[in-house]
Amino acid sequence: MWTLLCGRSSRQCLLEEIIINFIEAVNISNTHVLEWVSELFHLEGYNIQLIPPHEGGRNVVYTCEQEGCESLILRVSFLPDRNREDYIAELEYVQYLFDHGASVSNVVSSKKGNLLEEITYEEHTFFVSLFHKAKGKLLVENNYQYREGVPLTEYYYNSGKVLGKMHQLSKSYVPVHRRHHFFDNYKVEYIERLVPESFSLLKEKMVELLNTLKGLNTNQETFGMIHFDYNDGNYSIDFDTGHITVYDFDNSCFGWYMYDLADLWTHGVGWIQFEPDAGKRNAFMNDYFETALAGYTSETKIEDSMLEKLPLFIQVTLLENILGQLEEMQHTGEELEDNEEVLYFIKCLEEDIPYRGFFHDMYLSEAPFTL
C-alpha cells in the first residue's frame, strides 16, 4: 500500500489516506467485485478478461464478450480521489453526447437502472460502470497503418470532425451533476506541492500561465465540457469506414475548447517526428492542423481570436503533462533528473519555447522530445 497526500481534480488536498495499489485492486476485483458485477449488470455467461493497464491508467478495465451479444467494456475505479458525484457527472455527460448524435461509447445501465454502481469490500470502495465497446481498434493496434487505399488526410479530418461535434453539443449542455472546473484541478498550491524547490523558474512560469488563463473569455462559444485527453489512445477507428468512436472521459472537465484542439495538434506530431528538417516538420503540421480544423469547423465554429491562442494552449498541455508525471513520480519514487522527456518539456516552459520545441534547434529527430 502507499499513501496519497494530494491528487489532481476535485481530488485536491485529500486527507492522508491509505489506498490500495493497482495490483491489489485487480486481485480484489477478480476475486470479489466481478461476482457482484455480473449480477448487477446482466453479465452472467460473459467471458470477462482483464485489459492490461497502460501508463497513467487509473482504472481496472475488462472486456466482456459473449457469442451473439454486443461486446462491452467494464470499468472498475478504485482510487479515492473522486467521489460518486464525479463519476455520475462524467457518465451523464457521455450519455448526453451519445443521445445527441456524438460518436462516443455509450454507458450501459445496471439492472437497477443506474449508470454507476458502488461496491464496498473491506472498507475499500469500487465505482463500477459499463460501456458499449467501440467498433474497430486503436491506431497502435493497426501498427499506425490507416485504411488501405485511403489518404491519411481522411483520418485527420475525421478526428477534427468528431471533436467538433462534441464541442458543439457541449455548448448547449446543462448538467444535472457538474464535473469540476479546470481551476479546481490546477491551482498555485498544487504546483507548490509537486514542483521541487530547485525548479523555481518552472513554478514561476506555471503560475504565470495560470494567471494568463484566468484572463481569457469563458463564454458559451469558448468554454464548456471538454474531453481533456483527446488522442488516438482514447478512440477506436473502424478501418472499414474510417468512423471514429471516442471513450475514456474520466478526465473530462469544464475548460476551454482550445485545450482539446491543442491536444489534437500535439498528437499530430507523431506522423512526422522523425523528420530531421524542421521546415518540413513545420509545413506538415500546418497542413495536418488545417485539415483537422476543417473537420472541426464542419461541426462547430471557433473564433480566430481563440485559434491564435493555440501556442498558449500547447503550453498548457505541457503544464498538465509535467504535473501529471511529477505526481506519478511521487508515488513511484522515480527521480525527476532521470526523466529526459519531462526535463525537455520543463525546458520548453522555462524558456518560453513554443510548439513543444518541435521546430526549435534543440529538437532531436533521432530522439524526439528528449534532451
Please give the chain's pLDDT, 371 residues, in tens.
Answer: 222 223 334 344 333 344 688 899 999 999 999 999 999 999 999 999 999 886 656 899 999 999 999 999 999 999 888 999 999 999 999 999 999 999 999 999 999 999 999 999 988 999 999 999 999 999 999 999 999 999 999 999 999 999 999 999 999 999 999 999 999 999 999 999 999 999 999 999 999 999 999 999 999 999 999 999 999 999 999 999 999 999 999 999 999 999 999 999 999 999 999 999 999 999 999 999 999 999 999 999 999 999 999 999 999 999 999 999 999 898 788 999 999 999 999 999 999 999 999 999 999 999 999 99
What is the phi/psi pair of residue 40, to 5°?
-70, -30
Query: Taking each helix axis from N to C terminus, what angle separates 278-297 and 257-266, rounded to the nearest 10 degrees?
Result: 140
d(CA 125, CA 32): 12
Cell numbers of 173, please? 449542455
d(CA 359, CA 75): 39
Tell me, yes or no, if the pTM score tops 0.85. yes
Residues 6+ apart with CB under 8 A from 6: 12, 13, 14, 190, 193
Strands 72-77 and 59-65: antiparallel
d(CA 124, CA 254): 29
Per-residue pLDDT, 55: 61
d(CA 142, CA 208): 41
Cell numbers of 191, please? 504546483
Per-residue pLDDT, 53: 81
d(CA 288, CA 298): 16
Intra-chain end-to-end CA distance of the chain, in Å:
34
Per-residue pLDDT, 18: 47
d(CA 32, CA 124): 12
d(CA 258, CA 219): 13
Tell me the β-bridge partners of 124.
121
Strands 235-237 and 223-226: unpaired
